[in-house]
Structure 1
Amino acid sequence: MTVALCALSHSPLMGRNDPARDVVDEVNAELASARRFVAEFDPDVVVVFAPDHYNGVFYDLMPPFCVGRAAEAVGDYGTQAGPLHVDRDTAHRIAAHVLDSGIDTAISERMHVDHGFAQPMELLFGSITAVPTVPIFINSVSTPLCPVRRIRLLGEAVGRAVADLDKRVLLLGSGGLSHDPPVPQFDSAPEEVRQRLIDGRAITDDQRAARENRVITAGRDFAAGTATLQPLNPDWDNELLDILAGGDLTPIDPWTVTDFVAAAGHSSHEVRTWIAAYAALSAVSPYRMASRYYRPIPEWIAGFAITTAVPTNL
């Protein structure tokens, strides 16, 4: 078995509210490097840790984690819609091992995923069906959220589950870093919005377009300095990247939900996907971060980062 890791930020505003040309070119160059990394690794299966943004998972049943044994992308923000190419056998193996490890995870035979899953697959592989996947949803938006220590333990259990596979496994973390986009909070939302957060699967094309336009407008206002969104926090982002690069993730364990929000915004919890991916790699082998890119990009409402990592024996 061979394992490698790629973790990258996603943003639905990419291509819709772009920063200056030189910044886009810089990001594209880093993405091209990440594509070369994954192409050279040539994975047999990609384990994707990703969040949802009330497009596929809702409060009618909100698990902290869920392993998909079948999954379909909803196609928000112009991402590819339709079924993912899920490796059912590996998904079952992972779910069973995670449960045997004492980490409660849900299992889905009809997982719905959004751009958090689809965009990184498209950026790295060109399609959501280009390579077999195991989608693992990690709640990163909907309160209450589990302690971050549980994310590390989840990741380690996934790592142990794939350690003996006779496959090349790419661990893919999608999300973060610091950002606070206009995602509604259930307890403070109007009743009409609450009902959509409980079950918004029947959204119309016009409703989806209106919702997406609100986010695009927020990005433009944020970049112009006229929005009330919480600022990006490069210091926090780089502290997290330093910990991930160091190989010992336990310093993150004491970070509370309140700490995340105060320092880096409500959606900074998406870094739970990075923590899970790096924890999975750490359970397989000591590792080194092979590449690291970071830039705060207000136009995308994102502390934007791309990293790769490999076991130290490679």
Structure 2
Amino acid sequence: MAELASIGSYERGKGTGAAPSARPFWRIGYHTRVNLWGFAFVLPTLIFFAVFKYGPMLWAIALSFTSYDMVSAPQFVGLENYRTLLGDPIFRDTLVNTFVYIAGSTILLTASGLGLALAINTGIPGARHCMMVMFLTNLMPIIAVCLVWRLLLHPFGVVNQILQHFGFGRIDWLTDSATAMPAIIMVTVWRFAPYFMVVFLAALLALPDDYYEAAELDGAGPFRRFFHITLPLLMPTIFFVVVVSALLCARIFLMPFLITGGGPGNATRVLSMLIYETGFSYLKMGEAAAISVVLFAIMLVFTSLQMGLFSRSERIYV
């Protein structure tokens, strides 16, 4: 009888067209739950970047408009720090040194990385073993690299003793303003060129063989194949290497700091060193933050230009 009563009540409800019970408001749909789980997995990374990257970046920008000595509270001074930098000859010389270092290192890193990759890609016996040996320089601690090269470039070091056998006199690599910056650039290329060699080698191995086979059938020599096939196809990789190497060189600090200390005089002082000295040696954190903002603006402009060229080259060659 209870079963019949329940069936009867069900039939009465069905006959009257009663609406089914609505889902409670606290129930979440499937797609919403998936999105919430994805956000929960990404949330630790977002917090990390907000606390340790973008937060300090915004704090540095705000600090550049203040006078702060790490003892008293920051005092707002407006654009006074930037006006001080414009009238500072040391800042102007350091800015020029930074541009020279970025330009020289970027050009040589790109050229040497491409040259090494082309040499490895020829398939000469033992080329891959040479690549492994050369890549070890990129794995060495940067402090060890700086200290070793400081000894090698000593006026009575190994480099000068080798050059004496070829008729060269003693060269003051690190104490002459004419050779100090080229020496720092040379050490930078020696340190980081194998990394970009691997990048170029990966790009070379991914190039299709059809173009080269068609060029050989047309009688094109190695130089024409390089300038008309290899180089245009490598343009996206070349722009990538230029952007990465320029950003790497823009924030370099340990090499000039440990090898020359910014000397002789102001010949090898770059903006990252000036930021450190202004902030922690002279306790002018406001001016140091202003210099860091200038360095950030330079890197941002350069990266934007390179990305524009990269996108245009991608439309042309792909």
Q: Which of the five TM-score ranges fits, normalised by the shorter chain?
A: under 0.3
Q: Give the number of the structure whose residues are more often helix, by fraction.
A: 2
Q: Give the number of the structure whose residues are more often strand, by fraction.
A: 1
- Structure with the bigger RCO (C-alpha within 8 Å, sep 6+) is 1
Structure with the greater alpha carbon radius of gyration: 2
